[in-house]
């Protein structure tokens, strides 16, 4: 069965520092991979997605993610975080009948 | 409206009561999804509608949960005889067409069962 693991429940970084959020997936076929962000009191917003092709995917708000098949990973990165990036981040794998399986999320805190 | 809307934003109910949660997808979106987000957990898929096809109900946790989509637009998620473990945020999403196009999420309905 497909699954998504986000090993970091909570990460704290300083404003301006680089960021990497980890995501590992388990899926038998070529995965469709997504990163969503959820700000307090708001719905989820798609940051980026990987379907095929170039394994380095650029998204909105300066985020990028790299698909590594050998490691079953799809880590999210940003070179310099801003205070407004504080939110909950969810990795997801798409499969079957267009369903998404989500990880449990990583809460990002930004300190000045 | 430009986005997916859900109502109510918050719902507090007593154990054993029935509740209805509403989702208005983006106009023209043929696919509609319901997810449940429990405290400390990721999002759990509940049900998926695509056009006039039979819905995929494989994620519904029990027969107390049901959903319908009228006229290919508005959807209602009904929970009968609510239990405390039903307390969660219920999220609705829609997408333009079938096939992993971006899912647009609503703000959710926070359900609290006392």
Q: What is the pLDDT of residues A41-90, one digit of tens each?
A: 778 999 999 988 889 999 999 999 999 999 999 999 999 999 999 999 99
- Residue A27: its pLDDT value, please? 79
> Which residues in A have their CB inside 8 Å of a CB on B?
4, 6, 32, 36, 41-46, 49, 51, 90, 92, 94, 97-105
**Average pLDDT of span A8-18:** 96
- Residue B52: its pLDDT value, please? 83
- Residue A90: its pLDDT value, please? 96
> Could B103 and A99 be called an inter-chain contact, meaning their C-beta atoms sit closer than 8 Å?
no
> Could A46 and B103 be called an inter-chain contact, meaning their C-beta atoms sit closer than 8 Å?
yes
Q: How far apart are CA B42 and CA A33, in angstroms?
A: 15
H/E stretch holding B10? strand B10-13
> Does A96 score more than 80 pLDDT?
no
Judging contacts by C-beta atoms under 8 Å, the chain B residues touching residue A90 are: 42-43
CB-CB neighbours of A51 under 10 Å = 14
> Could A102 and B91 be called an inter-chain contact, meaning their C-beta atoms sit closer than 8 Å?
no
- Residue A30: its pLDDT value, please? 74
Q: How far is CA A14 from the centre of its chain?
A: 19
Core vs surface per residue B1-36: b (16+ CB within 10 A) or e: eeebbbeeeebebeeeeebebebbbbeebbbbbbbb
CB pairs under 8 A between A and B: 60
| Facing A99 at nearest CB: one of B41, B48, B107 | B48
> Could A90 and B105 be called an inter-chain contact, meaning their C-beta atoms sit closer than 8 Å?
no
H/E stretch holding B23? strand B19-24
| Facing B100 at nearest CB: one of A32, A36, A104 | A32
- How do A10-14 and A106-111 pair as beta strands? parallel
- Residue B65: its pLDDT value, please? 97
| Facing A98 at nearest CB: one of B4, B44, B48 | B48
Angle at B14 between CA B12 and CA B19, to 5 degrees: 65
Between the alpha carbon of residue A11 and those of residues A7, A8, A63, A100, A110, the distances in Å are 10, 7, 16, 24, 9
- The rounded radius of gyration (Å) of the Cα atoms in chain B is 13
Closest CA to A9 of A98, A105, A109: A105
Closest Cα of chain B to A18: distance in Å?
Answer: 25
Q: Which residue of A has its CA nearest to B108?
A: A43
Mean pLDDT by 10 residues, chain B (114 residues): 89 97 93 89 88 89 94 93 96 82 89 97
**Main-chain phi, psi angles of B84, to 5 degrees:** -60, -30
Q: Which residue of A has its CA nearest to B31?
A: A98
Judging contacts by C-beta atoms under 8 Å, the chain A residues touching residue B44 are: 102
Q: How far apart are CA B114 and CA B99, in angstroms?
A: 39
The secondary structure of chain A, three-state, reads CCEEECCCCEEEEECCCCEEECCEEECCCCCEEEEEEECCCCCEEEEEEECCCCCEEECHHHCEEEEEHHHCEEEEEECCCCHHHCEEEEEEEEECCCEEEECCCEEEEEEC
**Average pLDDT of span A9-31:** 92
Query: Quick one: CA torsion of B32, B34, B35, B36, rounded to 10 degrees?
Result: 160
CB-CB neighbours of B102 under 10 Å = 14
């Amino acid at each position: 069965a497909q699954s998504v693991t986000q090993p970091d429940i909570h990460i704290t970084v300083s404003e301006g520092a680089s960021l990497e959020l980890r995501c590992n997936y388990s899926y038998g076929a070529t995965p469709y991979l997504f990163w969503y962000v959820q700000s307090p009191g708001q719905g989820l917003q798609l940051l980026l997605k990987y379907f095929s092709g170039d394994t380095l995917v650029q998204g909105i708000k300066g985020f990028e993610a790299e698909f590594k098949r050998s490691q079953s990973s799809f880590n999210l990165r940003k070179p310099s975080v801003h205070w407004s990036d504080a939110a909950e981040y969810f990795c997801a794998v798409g499969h079957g009948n267009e369903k998404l399986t989500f990880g449990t999320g990583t809460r990002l805190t930004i300190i000045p | 409206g430009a986005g997916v809307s859900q109502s109510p934003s918050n719902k507090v109910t007593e154990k054993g009561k029935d509740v209805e949660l509403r989702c208005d997808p983006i106009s023209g979106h043929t696919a509609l999804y319901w997810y449940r987000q429990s405290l400390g957990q990721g999002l759990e898929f509940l049900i998926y509608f695509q056009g006039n096809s039979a819905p995929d109900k494989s994620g519904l946790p029990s027969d107390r949960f049901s959903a319908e989509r009228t006229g290919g637009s508005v959807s209602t998620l009904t929970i009968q005889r609510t239990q405390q473990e039903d307390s969660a945020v219920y999220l609705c999403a829609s997408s333009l067409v079938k096939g992993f196009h971006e899912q647009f999420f609503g703000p959710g309905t926070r359900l609290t069962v006392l």
